[in-house]
Amino acid sequence: MWQGDPMPRVTQAFRDRQQARIYAAATRCFARAGFHATSMDDVIQEAGMSSSTIYRYLPGGKQELICSVCTWRIDKLAARLDQLRQETDPPGIRDALVSALVSLHEDDPDTDFTTTARLAVNAWSEMPRDPEFREKIKGYFAGIRSHLLALATQWHESGQLRLSPAETSEIILRTSFGLIAEEALYGGVDVHAAGEALQRLLEAPPRG
């Protein structure tokens, strides 16, 4: 007896695309209104998906979504830093900074640096209120520090730095925080110019 066509198999790639669509939509909503003023209905409408689909991926609701969106963005940054470190000819400080910050939003044509910067500022403001969230984000940023230190070590070994790898990686990280905060508050940050200035500050003077 014919029972109809079999249900199409849902691949991991499809699930990843659906998840990315939800996270990108949530990023835009959170950037516009903040975590607490954004409802799950807002995200559902922004994503153009059914509520059942959203909750299938996020059974924990909005709190799970907040954490997942933030760690998803940080994972993109970590992956880009690791990619730069493994290149045969790693980029200099300016290009590494620009590439890292662009990695936060380059996958989504409807998201830009301002959007992801505002998401980051919302996450920072959430950390004092939610100790569990704070500890999770701190753990992820420990990975970012590790990737940056590895990249700075390569620069140091090739004679590009005037400071130690640890000092260099901390300056880059803290400068990045400042650029993100400025972009979230005022917009118009010239990441390329900031990277150029940072490179002049940190690179070793020419030999000879």
pLDDT of residue 22: 96
Domain presence at residue 132: yes
Strand partners, 161: 203
Per-residue pLDDT tens over the stretch 25-76: 999 999 999 999 999 999 999 999 999 999 999 999 999 999 999 999 999 9
Residues 6+ apart with CB under 8 A from 3: none
Domain presence at residue 194: yes
Rounded to a whole number of angstroms, the CA Rg of the chain reads 20
Domain presence at residue 182: yes
How far is Cα of residue 18 from the mean position of the Cα atoms in its chain? Answer: 18
Residue 188 has pLDDT above 80, yes or no: yes
Question: Is residue 85 within 8 Å of 150, Cβ to Cβ?
Answer: yes
Domain presence at residue 28: no
Q: Where residue 122 sits, what CATH number does that domain have?
A: 1.10.357.10
Question: How big is the chain, counted in residues?
Answer: 208
**Which range marks the domain in which residue 118 is found?**
64-202
Domain presence at residue 16: no
Q: Does 105 or 60 have the greater pLDDT score?
A: 60
pLDDT of residue 205: 79
Domain presence at residue 4: no
Question: Is residue 43 within 8 Å of 58, Cβ to Cβ?
Answer: no
Domain presence at residue 2: no
Residue 169 has pLDDT above 70, yes or no: yes
Domain count within the chain: 1
pLDDT of residue 1: 45
Domain presence at residue 35: no
